[in-house]
Amino acid sequence: MPPLTNSTIYFGSFVVTSQVFYKTAYSFALVNIKPLLPGHVLVSPLRAAKRLSDLNHAEVTDLFMTVQEVGRMVERVYGASSLNIAIQDGPAAGQSVPHLHTHIIPRQNADLDEHGGGDAIYGMLEGDDGDVGKHLWERSNRRPKFPAVDDSSRKPRTEEEMAEEAQRLAREMTRQRL
């Protein structure tokens, strides 16, 4: 399956075209390089706005309609009973890529009991596990400004793995619209 667009799609300074599985007039959805739970995806505006308040009315509307539509699909495909939907709006809130993005994380009962319960997801988002920018930076073969943390239980995915998931989710988005 070819990419959804011939245009290059950026997430901050990172080219993510092959990770994109859904695109609208103002937004795109992409698979996550290092998902916290299976099905953890991101929705972002096409324009590299840093903060939610930087979006115009049409972009805000499109972003949240896209979050809703992608959330329905992710919940269905991953057999979830609930979703975490989160925006880390600025660096002080834990935003690691200076491009607004919404995390959609499918959830099931007791899925994080071994980590302290369902609210553990917030610590995961704010910690090294949720640092999307760091993982994209490392994948781009540049050295990070901070030491790498050993996280042997979760490895960043390859371009091929993410492209394969993006293609599968693109088919699911089409199926959902029928």
The residues assigned a catalytic role are: 101
Spatial neighbors of 74 by CB under 8 A, at least 6 apart, are: 39, 41, 80, 83, 104, 106, 169
How is residue 85 written in tokens?
């939907």
Task: Give the Cβ contact number of residue 171 at 10 Å.
Answer: 13
Question: In angstroms, rounded to a whole number, what is the distance separating the alpha carbons of residues 45 and 119?
Answer: 27
The one-letter code for the residue type at 83 is: L
Per the CB < 8 A criterion, the answer to whether 39 and 76 are in contact is no
Per the CB < 8 A criterion, the answer to whether 16 and 163 are in contact is no
